[in-house]
A and B are shown apart, each in its own frame.
Chain A
């Protein structure tokens, strides 16, 4: 029996009667690396937020390792998450180590202090990502690429089984982008993780993942391993031009008939 890291059945999300996600059905096997691609406004971040439990589905069901998102959240050790803009307060007075330790808080529970064991896990993740020497630096004063590693270390500090990365390379230069993809691939192999990576950067992602999910309110899955731009364009027809070259992104938003709003 194959076990699934993520199963989504008949998922709909609407805001003010406007559908953001429509009829999503998706199963992601454990130990795979999946890229979610789509233009701006396709609902990529919304899909992640539903998976994380931040947004309740309007209809349908989401299961993370067989459990609903809110149960998975309470466990605190299933999903490691790298948000799109992880540093909302650039001058926040905490060190790199403090930030990574935050990844342990959910597991620790309310009112419990950070133990030596947590500190060791955090330092271990910093070492793994090659930034142990930054542990005592303020989070705001290191480079964007280093920060990205810190936040990956935080996501790993809770020892997750599923790693979710929202546009991990968006603020990085080409060189750091390659480094980041290498890191993610190594982590996946080493820790047996399932990885979901959201991006609008089709070229880079297509070479890095096992499966690609194209999302534009609805889902198109491309299997199996890596497909090139051509295959993608065949699947999407001419729309892919709009989709990924971003000339007029809203043009691709196809209005589906029979919507009951």
Chain B
């Protein structure tokens, strides 16, 4: 273990992984309670189109990716709000189109040396110093916003109409949450890949749902599960020489499976 820890790239991977896990662990609870799992998956896959567009136009793929993901997120919300299209249909259409655009952009850019597989599963071991700083800034910013609007986000998840009636700016918060989600997804995707970020935004929340009965506990369990899976996955992948992103996702899936079993065998007690 000390051998791995002494390596600069591994330290950075651990730091970035833990920061992302905390962030995703918290958002995952809201994603689960607001039944937005599919939106997370949709946005993360759409971001691929933005990254490819950046490569085509010679822009920083991080920023083109963020703007693309935010745009897709807002389009989904807009379509839903106008009632023109069911939300799941909107997501399904937009994310398939965005990924197809991504492949087309990559083709047109002629950069065949881009690692598409890397976008899907990421390569957290290749995280640089600058990216660790970026992820730390985003983590602080997003956590700050969530903390500031925590009670409203909870109310919104509990009962949107009632929240509106009570004077909560529901529409603004819906959009805000999507922007946060898009931002985190993009940050995370750059580091750990589309599949891993989709997993990190859903599975920790689902594990927490199985193991806890109050929201506060749920947030802790969710963050804990995400951090454990990330740390465990990174060490395991280092020693077994497995792909890191996939190992973390499998760790999360295993934890979810165990939590599901424990819930059916030991249902949460009433107090």
Contact = CB atoms under 8 A, between A and B. Distances in A.
Of B152, B157, B165, most A-chain CB atoms within 10 Å: B165
B233 to A, nearest CB: 27
B165 A138 contact: no
A35 interface: no
Interface in B74-109: none
A112 to B, nearest CB: 8
A114 B151 contact: yes
A93 interface: yes
B15 interface: no
A53 B166 CA distance: 11
B57 interface: no
Contact of B214 (A54, A95, A113, A114): A95
A185 interface: no
A73 interface: yes
B215 A138 contact: no
Contacts of B152: 105, 110
Contacts of B151: 102, 105, 108, 113-114
A141 B133 CA distance: 45
A111 B172 CA distance: 14
A79 B165 contact: yes
B169 A110 contact: yes
Contact of B155 (A73, A83, A105, A113): A105
B164 A105 contact: no
Interface residues of B, number: 28
B162 interface: yes
Contacts of B47: none
A40 to B, nearest CB: 20
Contact of A73 (B149, B165, B213, B215): B165
Interface in B120-172: 148-149, 151-152, 154-155, 157-159, 161-169
B166 A137 contact: no
B213 A105 contact: no
A9 B187 CA distance: 53
Nearest to A83: B162
B33 A83 contact: no
A225 interface: no
A94 to B, nearest CB: 6
B205 to A, nearest CB: 11
Interface in A54-113: 54, 73-76, 79, 81, 83, 86-89, 92-95, 98-99, 102-103, 105-108, 110-111, 113
Nearest to B212: A93
B271 A52 contact: no
A106 B166 contact: yes
B171 to A, nearest CB: 12
Interface residues of A, number: 35
B155 A102 contact: yes
Interface in A15-37: none
A193 to B, nearest CB: 17
B218 interface: yes
A93 B162 contact: no
Contacts of A13: none
Nearest to A107: B167
Contact of B167 (A93, A95, A106): A106
Of B159, B163, B169, most A-chain CB atoms within 10 Å: B159
A214 interface: no
Given A74-B167, A93-B215, A94-B214, A137 B155 contact: no
A106 B168 contact: yes
Nearest to A108: B151
A138 B270 CA distance: 9
Contact of A52 (B33, B148, B165, B212): B165
A209 B157 CA distance: 35
A158 interface: yes
Interface of B: 33, 148-149, 151-152, 154-155, 157-159, 161-169, 209, 212-215, 217-218, 270-271
10 contacts: A54-B161, A79-B165, A81-B165, A83-B159, A93-B209, A93-B217, A93-B218, A106-B167, A107-B167, A136-B271
Interface of A: 52-54, 73-76, 79, 81, 83, 86-89, 92-95, 98-99, 102-103, 105-108, 110-111, 113-114, 136-138, 141, 158
Given A73-B164, A102-B158, 5 more contacts: A86-B159, A87-B159, A88-B158, A105-B152, A106-B166
